[in-house]
Amino acid sequence: MANRVDHEYDYLFKIVLIGDSGVGKSNILSRFTRNEFCLESKSTIGVEFATRTLQVEGKTVKAQIWDTAGQERYRAITSAYYRGAVGALLVYDITKSRTFDNVQRWLRELRDHADSNIVILMAGNKSDLNHLRAVSEEDGKALAEKESLSFLETSALEAYNIEKAFQVILTEIYHIISKKALAVQEAASGSALPGQGTTINVADASGNQRRGCCST
């Protein structure tokens, strides 16, 4: 038993949650991994990360999502937090413009500490509090476009777009990884003649997809 190798997933992707304190990061995580929401703010839940396994384009992907234990309040997130991360969910609160203004600061933090190819989705959380809105959806979209980020408004409370946010990030990561793998394969086969190596794989992949894909 102890020796059994863990083969229940095809890919393991580390994703970090970042953004100001109080924007809803921990609740986004608990909504996504346990379908739970907590109205009271327990700032330190104390988990390092939580995981959930899901299907992305016919592959089994295990998302390992890291949450802060409140260090963001002291701007004391260490580089270990970002190490190995291939995705980031950058969260602000649509009712607090300061948390939106600070997105730039978080992008800088990512630039300094994370891999330069990290996939980033910006989430304007608490969309259920539309009557208290301080940041328009258009402003969110405009910033995301300017910074080349994916963007969604979410609500951890109403479970709105939470699933989708992770699907978008994981799919984007998967596309990048599979493109890289293909490039490596092509490089390995040198100036491969058409019909060699990769062609066979493409045929295999489409066969697998027809069998395994049910996510439409």
Ligand X SMILES: Nc1nc2c(ncn2[C@@H]2O[C@H](COP(=O)(O)OP(=O)(O)O)[C@@H](O)[C@H]2O)c(=O)[nH]1
Residues that bind ligand X (CB under 6 A): 21-27, 38-39, 41, 43, 125-126, 128-129, 155-157
In the bound state with Mg ion, the residue whose beta carbon lies nearer, of 125 and 127, is 125
How far apart (Å, rounded) are the C-alpha atoms in residues 64 and 29?
A: 10
Fill in the amino acid letter for 95. T
What are the residues whose beta carbons fall under 8 Å from the beta carbon of 184, sequence distance 6 or more? none
Contact between residue 106 and residue 18 where contact means Cβ atoms under 8 Å apart: yes
Count of positions on this chain that bind Mg ion (CB under 5 A)? 2
Restricting to residues 83-112, which ones interact with Mg ion according to CB under 5 A? none
In the bound state with ligand X, the residue whose beta carbon lies nearer, of 39 and 214, is 39
Residue 71 contact among ligand X, Mg ion, none, beta carbon within 5 to 8 Å by kind: none
Contacts 24+ apart (CB under 8 A), 186-189: none
Q: In this structure, how many other beta carbons lie within 10 angstroms of the beta carbon of residue 42? A: 10
The mark string for 22-51 relative to Mg ion (x by CB under 5 A, - otherwise) is: ---xx-------------------------
In the bound state with ligand X, the residue whose beta carbon lies nearer, of 11 and 52, is 52
Least distance CB 94 / ligand X (angstroms): 9
Residue 156 contact among ligand X, Mg ion, none, beta carbon within 5 to 8 Å by kind: ligand X
In the bound state with ligand X, the residue whose beta carbon lies nearer, of 21 and 53, is 21
Residue nearest to Mg ion (CB): 26
Q: Which residues of 58-71 are buried (b: 16+ CB within 10 A; e: fewer)?
A: bbebbbbbbbbebe
How far apart (Å, rounded) are the C-alpha atoms in residues 133 and 151?
A: 17
In the bound state with Mg ion, the residue whose beta carbon lies nearer, of 26 and 102, is 26
